[in-house]
Amino acid sequence: MKSFQYATALSVDSAQQMVADNGQYIAGGNDLLGLLKEYLVDPKTLVNIKSLPGLDKIEQGKDTWTIGANVTVAQIEDHAGIKECFPGLHWAAWHVGSRQIRNVASVGGNLAQHSRCWYFRHRDVLCLKKDGDTCYARHGENRYHSLFTGNQCISPVVSNLAVAFAALDAVAVVQREGKPVSMKMAEFYADAFTSPTAHNALKPGDLILRVEIPAVRNRSHYIQASDKQEFDWALVSCAAAAKVTDGKLSQARIALGCISPVPHQVDAANEFLEGKTLDDATASQAADLVLKNAKPHGHNEYKIPLAHTLIRRTLLKLNA
């Protein structure tokens, strides 16, 4: 780990001024400290943002819930209102790491974390995501990698919260060049889909302020499959949300994690579910649409039937 300066910010403006173009924000630090130790990032200044006012609150409004970027994953897991209104988000939080990790991991950090691909994480491998010329996962060990991508890098998004937020049509509010910018999850990760060196669409100095969730969908759920039952990354994750009235769906959304650099959504599947009453056949047809253009690699073809099963199970939970 190389030397760096350390500063604590007391306002959003001062945080952005101190981080400038060559610094990094630190809240929980779960991802950042690992990147520092492996020499994958080399910031001149670490700016502590844990003291920024108002970013550690969960607030329920009439039409929108607001979750500050410094809210911990454990706070989401434990919040009674979120359990009742957004059970999919509750379960997505519950699946993040261990309780010790959830106690310090922040919402902003979970969204902004870097690739977990072992070729990227290995300090001695110059892969495509580190400005090399080869994605070693494409013809190497790719069991945990993407089925969908818009570039040669097949590293997937692994944020549980991003998948749940995508299904809920949430937006991340990011402070950029002195003003807040709202980004849906597809926009937040868009650059990672098209550019091999990007992890998300954040620019240097951008600061995540909060996530806003519309209080429209009254049913949601989240399921993931992992090698281990607890404290493990997902092989595939799935979130679904909808407004359910008299057994019929409206504004349904399905999102998959760990199979694409963005939370994977297909408009045709969401449109197909509009006005439908859920049964296994309907859920299966929706899953077919979501996975229609999947392109597996040498070791990850198993993700297609696994994702199909998770989509069906998650959708059917909306009836519960």
Question: What would you report as the CA-atom Rg of the chain, rounded to the nearest whole angstrom?
Answer: 19
* Amino acid (1-letter code) at residue 304: I
DSSP, collapsed to helix, strand or coil, labels residue 64 as: strand
- Do the domain assignments include residue 129? no
Same-domain check for residues 215 and 191: yes
What is the side-by-side order of every strand in the sheet holding 64-68? 58-60, 64-68, 207-214, 171-176, 179-184
The enclosing H or E element of 59 equals strand 58-60
Same-domain check for residues 226 and 79: yes
Same-domain check for residues 45 and 175: no
- Do the domain assignments include residue 254? yes
What is residue 113's predicted lDDT score, i.e. its pLDDT?
A: 95
Same-domain check for residues 291 and 304: yes
- Which ranges in 177-273 belong to alpha helices (H)? 185-188, 190-194, 267-273
What is residue 36's predicted lDDT score, i.e. its pLDDT?
A: 94
Gap between the Cα atoms of 10 and 120, Å rounded: 34
Same-domain check for residues 305 and 216: yes
How is residue 202 annotated by DSSP?
Answer: P
Same-domain check for residues 45 and 73: no
CATH of the domain at 24: 3.30.43.10
**Into how many domains does the chain fold?**
2
Same-domain check for residues 77 and 223: yes
Same-domain check for residues 48 and 70: no
Structural contact between residues 119 and 134, judged by C-beta atoms closer than 8 angstroms: no
CATH of the domain at 105: 3.30.390.50
Gap between the Cα atoms of 135 and 126, Å rounded: 9
| DSSP of 155-168 | PPP--HHHHHHHHT
- Do the domain assignments include residue 135? no
How many Cα atoms within 13 Å fall on the side-chain side of residue 202? 21
- Do the domain assignments include residue 70? yes
Gap between the Cα atoms of 25 and 9, Å rounded: 10
Gap between the Cα atoms of 133 and 125, Å rounded: 11
Output the CA angle 188-192-195, nearest 5 degrees.
135
All residues at 6 or more sequence positions from 152 whose CB lies less than 8 Å from its CB, including other chains:
128, 135, 138, 196
| DSSP of 251-315 | EEEEEEESSSSS-B--HHHHHHHTTPBP-HHHHHHHHHHHTTT----TT-TTHHHHHHHHHHHHH
- Do the domain assignments include residue 136? no
Helix-, strand-, coil-residue percentages of the chain, each rounded to 5:
35, 25, 45
Domain of 230, in residue numbers: 58-112+155-319
Gap between the Cα atoms of 275 and 278, Å rounded: 9
Same-domain check for residues 23 and 100: no
Local mean pLDDT, 10-residue blocks, the chain (320 residues): 91 95 94 93 95 96 96 98 98 96 97 96 94 96 97 97 98 96 98 97 97 97 92 94 95 98 98 97 98 97 98 94
